Amino acid sequence: MTTLTLNGKPVQFQAEADTPLLWAIRGELGLNGTKFGCGMALCGACTVHVDGAPTRACVTPLSAVAGKAVTTIEGLSGPVPQAVQRAWDEADVVQCGYCQSGQVMAACALLRDKPAPTDADIDAAMAGNLCRCGTYQRIRVAVKAAAKALANG
């Protein structure tokens, strides 16, 4: 059994310690916002935060997150996620939407750590998140808009 804090609440998983975190949160808890994309940590669709750091849940075993704080897209809250969501809507980022939970998780971590990111910062933070629809320019616009909104209060 693995115990961790998920979206602010203590959770115990019955799955084996080597079970990927993605399968535990989707299968045992039914939290389906975190997506399965490639299963090899290459696409970013499965991004969650582990102790605040963007982490690929598809290759992270439960044993690696025991005792840690994990946040999924369902657990994001506060001014940064609100600004990101508003900016995503205003920039009309989403097309098919499959990658968006991972994109939003990466953007929120970036803005939490770097409130005024440069283009290079945005590119570096978002580099591991693939978008099948190619909305990268709109994602950059949205991240900048969210940063501006947060700076203006």
pLDDT score at 1: 87
Section 129-145 average pLDDT: 94
Higher per-residue confidence, 60 vs 1 = 60
**What gap in Å lies between CA 143 and CA 151, rounded to an integer?**
12
Name the residue type at position 80.
Answer: V
pLDDT of residue 153: 82
When pLDDT is cut at 50, 70 and 90, the band that residue 97 belongs to is confident
CATH fold of the domain at 79-151:
DNA polymerase; domain 1 (1.10.150)
Residues near 49 by Cβ (< 8 Å), separated by ≥ 6?
55, 69, 70, 71, 105, 108, 109
Task: Match domain 2-75 to its CATH number in 3.40.50.970, 3.40.50.300, 3.10.20.30, 3.60.10.10.
Answer: 3.10.20.30
- Domain residue ranges in the chain: 2-75, 79-151
Its pTM stands at 0.94
Residue 145 CA to residue 153 CA, distance in Å, equals 12
Percentage of the chain modeled with pLDDT above 90:
95
